[in-house]
Amino acid sequence: MNTINEIGLEILTLVDELESKLLKLNSATVTDRRNSQHRNIKQIVGHLADSASNNTHRVIHLQYQKSPCNYPDYANLGVNDKWIEIQNYNAEEWISLIQLFKFSTIHYVHVINNVDLGCLNNEWISALNQRVTLKDMIVDYPRHLKLHIGEIDQIINDG
C-alpha cells in the first residue's frame, strides 16, 4: 500500500492536471455535452467538490466517533444526484466551481495527511450496509477521482 502521504501527492497531481484541463474548456463543452449518467462536466466537477467535502467529514468523524460510524452516505442510492441538483452546479460560475473543487480536494489531502494512524481500522457503515475502513476510504480516493476524470475526458473527446 502507498503511504498516506504518497496518496495525497497522487491526488494533488491529479488535481493540478485536471485544473489545467478544465481551465481550457469553453462554456458549451462544460454545460452542453453529457455522459452516460446524463451529467455534464460542470456537474461532474461539482460532484468532485461534494466528494472531497463529504470524505473530509467522514475522515474526521471516523477519528473521534465510536466505530462503526453511521455517518450519512451521500454517494449511494442516488443521493449524490440530489446534491448536484439542489446545488444547481449548471448555474455556478465556472472558475468558482473549478476553485471549489481544487481547494476542497487540497483540504481533503491536508486532512488525510494529518490522520491519526491508530484510527485507520475504524469503520463507517455505508447506505449499502457495507463496512468501509478509514484506510480503505483513503486508499480508494484516487481511483474515484480518476474515474470521474475519465468521464470528463470522454465527454471532451466525444464532442
Cα–Cα distance measured from residue 82 to residue 100, given in angstroms and rounded to the nearest whole number: 18
Q: What is the pLDDT of residues 113-150, one digit of tens each?
A: 999 999 999 999 988 889 999 999 999 999 999 999 99
CATH of the domain at 35: 1.20.120.450
Domain that holds residue 25: 4-158
Average pLDDT on 52-79 reads: 88
Q: Is 100 helix (H, G, I), strand (E, B) or coil?
A: helix
pLDDT (mean) for 22-30: 92
Q: pLDDT grade, residue 159 (50/70/90)?
A: low
The pLDDT of residue 113 is: 97
Contact 80, 47 (CB under 8 A): yes
Mean pLDDT over residues 15-35, rounded?
91
Of 15, 44, 1, 21, which Cα lies nearest the Cα of 108? 15
pTM score, whole prediction: 0.92
Cα Rg of the chain (Å, integer) = 16
Angle, CA 132 vertex, CA 130 and CA 135 arms, to 5° = 170
pLDDT, residue 127, reads 84
Cell 470521474, located at residue: 148
The domain tally of the chain equals 1
Helix (H) or strand (E) holding 131: strand 131-133
Which range, of 4-13, 27-36, 93-102, 150-159, averages the lowest pLDDT? 27-36
Other beta carbons less than 10 A from residue 126's beta carbon: 18
Mean pLDDT of 39-67: 95
Element (H, E) at 125: strand 123-125
Cell numbers describing residue 90: 449548471
